[in-house]
Amino acid sequence: MIWKIARKEIKETLREGRFRIAGVIVLALLSIAVVISYNYYNYVQDQHAQASTNTRNLWTSQDEKNPHSAAHYGTYAFKPKSPLSLIDQGVDKFTGISIFLEAHRRNEAQFIAAADQTGLARFGDLTPDFILLFIIPLLIILMGYNSFGKERENGTLKLLQSQGVPPGKVALGKWLGLYMPILFLTAGLFLSAGLMLALTPNFGMFSWTALLLMTLVYLIYYGVFANLTLIISAWAKSGGIALVLLLSIWIITCLATPKAASNFADALYPYPTRQEFMADVSEDRKKGLDGHNPWNKEAKLLEKETLEEYGVDSIHQLPFNFDGYRMQKGEEHEAEVYFKHYQLLKDQFNQQSHFYSMSAAVSPYLPTRFLSMAIARTDYGLHWDFADAAERYRLKMMEALNMDFAENSAYGNWAYKADQSLWEGIPDFSYTPPTIGQIAVRHLSNFLLLATWLVISFLGLFWITRKL
């Protein structure tokens, strides 16, 4: 009986012109969005590869110079583009694509794509995630808002009840009839995207596991909307009332709640302004060791401790160049200062993320959005991870340069120059993003929230069906 009801619902849906028109529009938009995202990804990947190669060549082709001068010359760390950004670009266009690595300073990511867009960007981009998160739920509402209303009008609901069909079977049959077309549409999209990624050479670190997990997240999301649609359809007195209520729910869950949650999170856990952040960093840097100032209080203390450690009376008697050693210690102090203040930013970010998770009780959109970006590796968590990896690389590079200066020259010999072998001996920056398993563990709470939405909405559907 369940499958008979489901087949009947699917046949009626396919006969209706509104579904055919809406389905064609959604498919066309999805196809266009995938093609646009694919071309943009290839364009960014080509730029990334070219910029990485040019930057490495510039670094290794430096003339002979003092290693600390090379540290100030610096180089770039480039964030790799995730293959699944083809489906969900997340916050990539707001976070920058590269970080300049230089002595004494931790820089933020540069070349933010959103900064180069025109004012029309305020209306949003046509991307697959936009269709998946906003348009397909609307399609579900359009397909199912009158699912129970038409049964009342035709008298077929009483007929089913008189034949002894359990309310649970009616609910499940209705749900399958509404859900199956969306299932095939979604599965077709993700399968097409997966084949496109898998068959394209040099398309990054593509994972079928990640793609399947993202597919599962969206299917659960659509299951929740299918349940909500049928609940309202069963409860409302007419199809018109059901449609108005469902559109209101869509506006609240997909548009109003995310924006309100963002505003409340910013108000409760605000980030410091850039001016405040840099002023606090500068103040803490002044309190510690200045590697370029031998008369700095902390520098004199370091000199005294080093002389005592090596049992000599003068820094000229040390077995290394104290200038290079002092600059390395100054680099380590400044790195601690930056780590402290960036950790404060991350703490605020974590507090905001926790608030967003609490807001998921009002909207299934929020956990779906966070999971989609995390699996695509286009969320803020991935950006923080990349920035930390770039900083660790910068510290190792500075240590290699400063200690080469310290170990291969005498105190006061700033004329010492290293050759190309030193630049080539420092490995190129390489970043490995978190695995899907690590991402799943980090976002377990969002998985649980989305699953809770699905379970509770199913219970609500079965309950309201019994009350008919």
The domain locations on the chain are 2-466
- Two tokens, residue 374: 């995390």
* pTM given for the model: 0.87
- Residue 75 DSSP SS3: strand
- Chain-centroid distance of CA 84 in Å reads 11
Q: How many CB atoms lie within 10 A of CB 28?
A: 10
Residue with tokens 């990539």: 92
- Two tokens, residue 364: 């299934």
Q: How far apart are CA 54 and CA 51, in angstroms?
A: 5
- pLDDT tens over the chain, length 468 residues: 676 667 766 676 666 666 777 778 888 888 888 888 878 877 777 888 888 889 999 999 999 999 989 999 999 999 888 888 888 888 888 888 899 999 988 988 887 765 555 444 454 567 888 899 999 999 999 888 888 777 776 666 666 666 666 777 778 888 888 898 889 888 888 888 888 877 776 666 778 899 999 999 999 999 999 999 999 998 888 888 999 999 999 999 999 998 888 888 888 888 888 899 889 988 888 888 887 888 888 888 988 888 888 888 888 888 888 888 998 888 989 999 999 999 998 899 889 888 887 888 889 999 999 999 999 999 988 999 999 999 999 999 999 999 999 888 888 788 888 988 999 999 999 888 888 999 999 899 899 999 999 999 999 998 988 876
Q: How far apart are CA 28 and CA 330, in angstroms?
A: 58
- Looking at residue 20, its amino acid is R
Instruction: Give the strands of the sheet with 75-78, arranged side by side.
Output: 75-78, 98-102, 105-106
Q: How far apart are CA 267 and CA 260, in angstroms?
A: 11
Q: How far apart are CA 38 and CA 60, in angstroms?
A: 33
